[in-house]
Chains A and B, each alone.
Chain A
């Protein structure tokens, strides 16, 4: 096993364990900070897919934006709210059976697909030209989003503007009556 594979498996393991701990840990603040670990290792995995721009965007948006927002909302809320959260009981319930069933079904689909398909010989993978490590992906993304994907790009920006105006409207003080 070479160094790249070692790093890849290290980050995959980190991602899986931290994601499991995010949902299982009782302490809410620690779980948000563990969420940071899983998002960060996800960014590392994006780099292995040669999507460095997406990896960095992941860190900017999720760590710098979403996580900080979550922590803010958490810290501004009442501390009594946390005490009222019931610790999860360990006993087995019927509704958990449904969840387990769905998970197993998904696992079955994934495993069977993985066994059936020969990934190295797929025609649409062979016909497309692969991304090289030396490629400047940002350049390509910039040109494509200004030419081929201009309409979705503009629609998204209008959508974000709508969200911004809506947020500003909600945050305004109401008229004094």
Chain B
């Protein structure tokens, strides 16, 4: 029975982590946006407003659950749960450090994409269940966007999988550092297996994956419904989109799902392209920095550091760029990102056959 206890503990730890991350991201998003707009941001609660997020959560917990009279009650209540659980289940297959992965699946990355596609269903549920035309419009926009942007995401992920020859995220990560048993070639020519570090990351093993990473990053912004792709929530047109009718803890769950999704897509990108838990420091002669900075503690540190940097980029982009129009959004996806990602996949195939 002991391993059942471990399962429960791991699940609880991941849930606590998503909740803590959401609080942290909430505060940092406010502070970063304030810095970019030359304001101070939250300053009242705690030193430099550092307890502001806790105060917000406390406020949310006290709020009343309001169910609109004409709403479809079952769908309305179930939707936030499905949205959050689908994102939360995605965390199960992500590697945190050498040997530290909640579930080392052979189909890791494929499983994550399958689970994330359930979120669209939850959003449609929320939009329809609210019985509000703004909510319905928002959910339709959101789903149209997420379904279209899944294609460039999936294809750019495939171009990595073709290089790594595995769907298991732990194996993909191991193949990008000094712990691997295969040969690693920097730009396909220079063997860096003993050197490791930043040179062994997937984006430097095959340089066309840099383009694939940019495609993935842009498309992942669209999948989290974040600016500049936030037309599903466009406050000025849709007063908040599919979650307009939600209040209290139910809204908190949708919010939690949104921020966990930011972390999740950032972490998938880091694992696939930027080396996962591998250190960026290479071995230089007798100064074996890569050997010193690889381990369970270091692994968790590196992956958190890299992913939080990616999240900071997402926040930075949100407060810099204006919102896309619907037609621009769709033509950008289908006419620019999709052909480019197909090109990346083609190059991956040729690269695998000729350079490796």
Instruction: Give the B-binding residues of A (Cβ under 8 A).
Output: 27, 29-30, 33, 36, 52-53, 56-57, 59-60, 63-65, 67-68, 71-72, 75, 136-138
Contact = CB atoms under 8 A, between A and B. Distances in A.
B143 A72 contact: yes
A71 B106 CA distance: 32
Given A29-B75, A68-B121, A72-B144, 12 more contacts: A36-B121, A52-B106, A53-B110, A59-B118, A63-B117, A64-B117, A64-B118, A64-B150, A72-B140, A75-B128, A137-B106, A138-B167
B107 A138 contact: yes
Contact of B75 (A33, A59, A72, A138): A33
Contact of A30 (B75, B113, B140): B75
Of A64, A136, A138, the most chain B CB neighbours within 10 A belong to A64
Of B75, B105, B114, B128, the most chain A CB neighbours within 10 A belong to B114
A29 B143 contact: no
B251 to A, nearest CB: 21
A63 B121 contact: yes
Nearest to B139: A75
Interface size class of B (residues with CB under 8 A): 20 to 34
A68 B120 contact: yes
B70 to A, nearest CB: 13
Contacts, number: 62
A29 B106 contact: no
A30 B77 CA distance: 13
A17 to B, nearest CB: 15
Contact of A64 (B75, B105, B106, B120): B120
A33 B115 CA distance: 16
A56 B111 contact: yes
A52 B143 contact: no
A71 B143 CA distance: 10
B191 interface: no
Contacts of B120: 64, 68
Contacts of A136: 106
Interface in B287-301: none
Contact of A63 (B118, B143, B144): B118
B43 to A, nearest CB: 44
Contact of B114 (A30, A59, A71): A59
Contacts of A72: 140, 143-144
B242 to A, nearest CB: 12
B345 interface: no
Interface string B198-241: 00000000000000000000000000000000000000000000
A60 B124 CA distance: 16
B128 A68 contact: no
B125 A33 contact: yes
B147 A68 contact: yes
A33 B118 CA distance: 11
Contacts of A27: 72
A59 B167 CA distance: 17
7 contacts: A52-B106, A59-B118, A63-B117, A68-B120, A75-B136, A136-B106, A138-B167
B353 interface: no
A42 B144 CA distance: 26
A137 B167 CA distance: 12
Contacts of A59: 114-115, 117-118
A125 B77 CA distance: 48
